[in-house]
Every structure is written in C-alpha cells, then in structure tokens.
C-alpha cells in the first residue's frame, strides 16, 4: 500500500505518494508560508489532499526540522518556523480524519530512507552524518531508528570534540559542527588562502568573487587543487575522529556521509577513514565498518517520512 511522506523545509513543503519500494509515484510542492505556523499546517493538509487520490493509504508521515517528542506528536521547537510545543500530530489529525499520521524529525526521516533504500541497505546498524551548513545525523541501531528517551537522540553535530573549543549555535563550545560542517570547510579554505603557498587558487577565487563560498571550494576540490584538498582533508580528519568516538558507543556496520560535500566521494571518505583508524579505541582489534556517501540526495525526507509512517502503522 502507498504512503504519503511530507518534508517541511524552511523554504518549501515537499510531498510524495510513495510506494513500498521507496519510489515516488506522485509528488507535490508548495512554498513554505513564511513565519506563520497555522498557514504551514494548512499547506501540509492541502498537499496531503492533493496527493491522496481515491486509493487506500497505509499512513501519512510528516518530517519537520527541530525537536520532536518521543511520542512523535509534539514539535517542541523548530528553527525558522514559529512552532513552540506545537501539537502537530493532533492538529493534522483533526484536519485529516481517517488518516494514520506520524511525525518525525527531518534528519531522522532522511536517515531512515538512506538505511532502507540507499547506502545503508543490507545493514542493521548505520550511522549517518549530514554535512550541511551544520552537521546533522541519524542513527539506526538493530534495524530501528534511535530516537532516544526524549526524542532528541542523534544530534551528532553537537557531540563535543574540543573542550572549550569554538562557540556553537547550541550555546556550547567545541561541537563537531564547528569542525566538520560546510561552514568549517569554508573556514579551513580561507585559512589556507591566507597562507598562499598551496592556497593560491583559493586566494585567487576569493579575490575574484569577493568571498569564498561552498561552490568555489567544491569546484577546486573536483579539480584536485592542493589547497582545496588540504581543506577537505582537514574536514575529513575531524569527521573521522568523531566517527571513531561514535564507534565506541554505537558500533555501526556502516557510516554514511551526506550533504553537498559528500559528492566529493572518495576524496572525502579517504581522510575520514584514515583519521577513524588512527583514533579508534582498541584499534587493530575492531572490524572495520564501511564508509559510504549517501545515495538518496533528493527527496530522502519525503521517502523516509512515508516509510517510517508505514512501519509505524504496521507495528
């Protein structure tokens, strides 16, 4: 039976009618109404209604950014949308009678899609790190998504790697997000550009464009510019160290890395693996996990939300 997945993002609400094998049968998109939580709920209802059609549905899964409670009912807090302790599940259920609705954090939904239909396929234990502006994560352990006792598990980006390190948006210091994110990669690239030497091409791109952005750095990575590769290795080194600590706790069979920079493939995975092996507790006695880049770049949130809702409805 098909299920509907909805991914509420800062700029768009994406929806899909999703088959059991993860393929999207029909899709629908709306701009996210700015700054109005009630309008967003109305838009989500519209997307569900337009995707619904005449056939029977297994369930509706809605993925939203931010903290969702362990009962998957309430959005405690979400950045960019004015929801504070918003009873999203009840509000949607009231407007969509007869449908089985579940809500999940968007990173968890995307991670679940990767586990079921992407790079995590065939494993029972997967840890996903998404390298975006920040660092997001999702953890599947023994075939289940790890949500935690309060629903706030897998905030991997806020694992501390440097005591007293750089300040983080979460109010703490030294989180991996400050060393392993797209923003950190730009910082490394700028530092290398300042030193000239291998940073010449980065410095030239910066002079030409006014400032470096992720796109310039990525282009230089693909061209195997030594300065850009050095910045990428620095990023990979931090991520590999973090993965080693995660192994001590979660022991995944595979680490999957998503986000724009993951398109660098092996150029990113090699330094991650090297740093992982160097920092692994009891190194030499631990089987080596897989290191892979995410396969479901687009629509992972939609596919994962639908599949989680179906799994939940069948449980």
Q: Write a three-state SS string for 31-53.
A: ECCCCCHHHHHHHHHHHHHHHHC
Secondary structure letter of residue 175 according to DSSP: B
Secondary structure letter of residue 171 according to DSSP: S
Closer to Zn ion by CB, 67 or 286: give it: 67
Residue 224 has a CB neighbour count (10 Å cut-off) of: 9
Closer to Zn ion by CB, 61 or 182: give it: 182
Q: How far is the CB of 65 from Zn ion (least distance, A)?
A: 16
d(C-alpha 235, C-alpha 121), whole Å: 26
Q: How far is the CB of 242 from Zn ion (least distance, A)?
A: 12
Closer to Zn ion by CB, 158 or 273: give it: 158
Which residues contribute to the site for Zn ion (CB under 5 A)? 158, 168, 170, 172, 175
DSSP line for 101-155: EEEEEHHHHHHHHHHHHSTTTT-S-EEEEEESSSEEEEEEETTEE---TTS-TT-
Closer to Zn ion by CB, 134 or 252: give it: 134
Contact yes or no for 226/233 (Cβ under 8 A): no
Closer to Zn ion by CB, 171 or 284: give it: 171
Q: How far is the CB of 140 from Zn ion (least distance, A)?
A: 23
Q: How far is the CB of 107 from Zn ion (least distance, A)?
A: 14
Residue 103 has a CB neighbour count (10 Å cut-off) of: 26
Q: How far is the CB of 160 from Zn ion (least distance, A)?
A: 8
Q: How far is the CB of 180 from Zn ion (least distance, A)?
A: 11
Closer to Zn ion by CB, 168 or 204: give it: 168
d(C-alpha 274, C-alpha 249), whole Å: 19
């Amino acid at each position: 039976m098909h299920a509907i997945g909805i991914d509420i993002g800062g700029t768009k609400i994406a929806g899909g009618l999703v088959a059991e094998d993860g393929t999207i049968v029909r899709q629908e998109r709306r701009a996210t109404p700015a700054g109005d939580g009630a309008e967003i709920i109305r838009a989500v209802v519209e997307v569900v209604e337009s995707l619904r059609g005449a056939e029977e549905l297994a369930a509706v899964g809605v993925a939203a950014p931010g903290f969702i409670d362990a009962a998957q009912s309430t959005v405690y807090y979400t950045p960019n949308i004015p929801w504070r302790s918003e009873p999203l599940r009840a509000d949607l259920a009231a407007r969509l009678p007869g449908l089985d609705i579940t809500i999940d954090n968007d990173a968890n939904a995307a991670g679940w899609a990767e586990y079921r239909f992407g790079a995590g396929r065939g494993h029972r234990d997967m840890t996903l790190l998404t390298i975006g502006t920040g660092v997001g994560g999702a953890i599947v352990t023994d075939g289940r998504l790890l949500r935690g006792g309060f629903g706030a598990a897998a905030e991997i980006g806020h694992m501390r790697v440097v005591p007293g390190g750089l300040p983080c948006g979460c109010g703490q210091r030294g989180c991996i997000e400050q060393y392993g994110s797209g923003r950190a990669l730009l910082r490394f690239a700028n530092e290398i550009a300042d030193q000239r030497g291998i940073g010449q091409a980065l410095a030239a791109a910066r002079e030409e464009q006014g400032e470096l952005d992720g796109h310039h750095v990525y282009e230089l990575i693909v061209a195997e510019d030594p300065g850009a590769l050095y910045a990428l290795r620095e990023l990979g080194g931090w991520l590999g160290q973090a993965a080693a600590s995660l192994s001590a706790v979660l022991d995944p069979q595979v680490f999957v890395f998503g986000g724009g920079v993951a398109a660098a493939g092996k150029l990113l995975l090699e330094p991650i693996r090297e740093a992982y092996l160097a920092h692994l507790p009891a190194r030499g006695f631990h089987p080596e996990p897989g290191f892979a880049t995410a396969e479901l770049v687009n629509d992972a949130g939609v596919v994962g939300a639908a599949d989680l809702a179906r799994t939940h409805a069948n449980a």
